[in-house]
Amino acid sequence: MTKTKLIFIGLALALVGFLFAGSASAQDQTITVDPASVPEAGTYDFTVTPSGFTVAAVNIAVCNTADPSVEWGQATLMQYCGGFGTAADPNGPNTVEGVEVTEDGVTFLMFELVPDGEASPPVQVNIGMEEDMLAETGVETSLLVIIGAGIALAGVMVFGLSRRLRTL
């Protein structure tokens, strides 16, 4: 093999390695809320079960809206949740008692209270909806797409270089 071809293959493999590394995803931590919907507005007790957390301490926030268009961040935590919530157990089910569910529903968030800490996507509890009608959220196939695109790109690059070198 020529030196150019070896360098090119090394660069292609490095590109695939960078694609595999990726950035940390917020989809690794999830929570489930039971019950997932309530029949009418009122006061209810909920069980929030986390998964995927690797930290020792998290907070859980109960927010007074289930509007899916709300973009969650520090400002919305203050506006809809009244602050940063209360301490919770990241390893086991947490019981949240006396949650006032309004006509707008409620949203549960669980997060580590540090910059760039672990956090779950918001989980909404709506009024009068069946559990099977709730939207499926999260991305489960993005890593597979990145891996496939990286391998395909590396293959195209190696194929293109090998055809070009034969014509020289």
Same domain, 99 and 157: no
Same domain, 12 and 30: no
> In Å, how far from its chain's centre is CA 54?
14
Same domain, 8 and 72: no
> 11 near 168, Cβ under 8 Å?
no
Around Cβ 126, how many Cβ atoms within 10 Å?
19
Residue range of the domain that includes 38? 26-129
pLDDT value of residue 10 = 73
Same domain, 63 and 8: no
- Which runs of consecutive H residues, i.e. helices, occur in 22-108? 74-81
Report the candidate in 46, 132, 139 with the shortest Cα–Cα distance to residue 93. 46
Same domain, 31 and 65: yes
For residue range 6-18, list pLDDT tens digits in order. 777 777 667 666 6
* Domain assignment present for 48: yes
For residue range 33-64, list pLDDT tens digits in order. 888 888 888 899 999 998 888 888 888 888 88
- Which runs of consecutive H residues, i.e. helices, occur in the chain? 3-21, 74-81, 142-167
For residue range 79-94, list pLDDT tens digits in order. 778 777 788 888 888 8
Same domain, 99 and 74: yes
Same domain, 52 and 76: yes
Same domain, 72 and 111: yes
Give me the number of domains the chain comprises: 2
